[in-house]
Structure 1
């Protein structure tokens, strides 16, 4: 058991795989277990989950610097990005980062039959290429190696060129302080740094972008009066971001509500400093440059196998071993990685 930032984590030694799957605090796992008990005994009431889901909207909004009323709920980042991709005009020119996580790029690439064209450029070149495109879709922190987008440079370029921006915060929200109320869309999945179960995701929609977002997965849950939108026509969707809701997976949101509320209560600058300091300590030991990110990609020979043999839980991404340091990690975890890699 580890204690960090006011929470307990029943986590195995040297778990460095948060960029793949986050480990929940004990109280979050307890909330999911309580859901299962209530489900098992028939004590669940569907309407009771409306407040739980709305709690996650507010918490996600606080974590990314966006008003909670702008936030829609879903199950996966790609599903929510698809609402944006379906709404782009025929022939739209979309700019993405080279090697971008495909949950960001594939929904737009799937629109090729409408003439939608995707251009990839190195992450550092994204701000400079904005004016030549009709939309930018990019992760704030890249999944494969933890590279961090120059958000302010992108904002300046997008505002000057009047080009809409979609930002994926799946590898950023939960450890990085964010203020993204200027972006047209902000999407994030909950099962990594947000320490929630898989199956919960959010999309913040700026009011100016609402008409360019298509509720292609509309259901009763997106109805203006949810519990009176279950049967029959006409279409009657909510006016705000709720019109883009996908009916939530209740077990996931049972854990997401306490997980996001917990993270939103923390000093995220302290969380950022903690994770980045551990990552930089590792980078110094293996002769890598600082990156202002808690994610480190390691290309040492047989890195994945050597880490696994040493009891380090990591992942393989883009031909390298990838580790990530979150709030429950310590300097001892860094030391074990260094020993494993010699």
Structure 2
């Protein structure tokens, strides 16, 4: 099908973007071409630097940030660990109940840190008395969106640092998040990139509060000059937190982020939430203004209706993205007949 100026080979009824996003044809083709170059021995390691540069710039552009403030990695938890491991003993972290564990586990794994979970809706009101807030912008399990303006105001008033996970938001929800100390996102969902691509925006004044737990040659000022020997010599910007890149993932991410960067995300949000709210309306439920919907439904009946979905917290989870249509809504409704 064709949607938002791109062709997608996605099957009808695919509503599992919160688990795995489907790339447009040019993104898949870029990865396939890279695999062919690999198969025929046509690539050299330095050839992939261009793709890393492009994906870093693409993520920065999506957030309205400077590429120098973006680190590349392979997963959300790996990048969050750079923040969690740097926290001193006695640090009090506030998190949302039931948030994705790639956000919370790195903090809980620091024995000197206390993590307190509260209901998402209460998060801004509970910031006082905490040093760091770590939360997903959009909840993976059910699509609830944190009140970002309220959280920002509360964090500034309390002097608390903020880490935001934009994995279930970036790519469909226009974001104003450069005020946060750190913003992380994985690429293989709404950003339509291969698994193995992730990014961490580090505000310049937060660099000293971030630890390069996986310091490596690629995190050097000039990576090709830091492949051997001490002393430690890392980049002077957020690249100090880079992980050696997953090459094929970065090839796909570069193409995917450039494609998404050319879209009007306000239109994407309207498309996605319009379909999600249409489904809720037809089920007699109130609109929620989010692309992810969690339903009390029989997973077997949903699958029998031709829907590819996920199950989270005992509920069927569906997500609407660029390539979904009203026909997908009708397919879900059949599971309730």
Normalising by the smaller structure, the TM-score range is over 0.9
Instruction: Confirm or deny that 1:79 pairs with 2:78.
Output: yes
2:138 pairs with 141, 146, 164, which one?
141
Q: List gaps (5 residues or longer) in structure 1.
A: none
Q: Name the SS of the counterpart of 1:195 in structure 2.
A: coil
Report what 1:93 is aligned to: 92
Please state how far the C-alpha of 1:99 moved relative to its aligned partner: 0.5
Report what 2:306 is aligned to: 311
Please state how far the C-alpha of 1:224 moved relative to its aligned partner: 1.4
58-67 vs 2-11, which moves further: 58-67
- Per-residue CA deviations over 1:134-176 (Å, capped at 9, x if unaligned) read 1000000000000011101101111111110000000000000
- Per-residue CA deviations over 1:111-156 (Å, capped at 9, x if unaligned) read 1x22x11100111111111112010000000000000111011011
Structure 1 residue runs of 4 or more that deviate by more than 3 Å after TM superposition? none
Report if aligned partners of 1:17, 1:315 keep a CA contact under 8 Å in 2: yes
Report what 1:323 is aligned to: 318
- Per-residue CA deviations over 1:82-124 (Å, capped at 9, x if unaligned) read 000000111111000010000000000111x22x111001111
Distance 1:287 1:249 in 2: 45
Report what 2:201 is aligned to: 204
Report if aligned partners of 1:148, 1:291 keep a CA contact under 8 Å in 2: no
2:295 pairs with 284, 289, 298, which one?
298
- Per-residue CA deviations over 1:301-330 (Å, capped at 9, x if unaligned) read x2x111111110001001100000000000
Q: Which residues in structure 2 correspond to 1:96-111 (within 5 Å)?
A: 96-111=95-110
- Please report the TM-score for the alignment, with normalisation by the length of structure 1: 0.97
Distance 1:65 1:106 in 2: 28
Report what 2:257 is aligned to: 260
Report what 1:28 is aligned to: 27
2:329 pairs with 311, 322, 334, which one?
334
Report if aligned partners of 1:31, 1:255 keep a CA contact under 8 Å in 2: yes
- Please report the TM-score for the alignment, with normalisation by the length of structure 2: 0.99
Report if aligned partners of 1:66, 1:180 keep a CA contact under 8 Å in 2: no
Report what 2:46 is aligned to: 47
Q: List gaps (5 residues or longer) in structure 2.
A: none
1:282 pairs with 279, 294, 298, which one?
279
Please state how far the C-alpha of 1:65 moved relative to its aligned partner: 2.4
- Per-residue CA deviations over 1:169-212 (Å, capped at 9, x if unaligned) read 00000000012111100000000000000000000000111001
- Per-residue CA deviations over 1:9-42 (Å, capped at 9, x if unaligned) read 0111110000000000011000000010000000
Please state how far the C-alpha of 1:288 moved relative to its aligned partner: 2.2
Report what 1:216 is aligned to: 213
Count of matched residue positions in the alignment of Structure 1 and Structure 2: 337
Please state how far the C-alpha of 1:287 moved relative to its aligned partner: 2.4
- Per-residue CA deviations over 1:232-286 (Å, capped at 9, x if unaligned) read 0000100000000000100111100000110011000000000000000001112
Report if aligned partners of 1:29, 1:255 keep a CA contact under 8 Å in 2: yes
Distance 1:190 1:13 in 2: 23
Q: Name the SS of the counterpart of 1:341 in structure 2.
A: coil
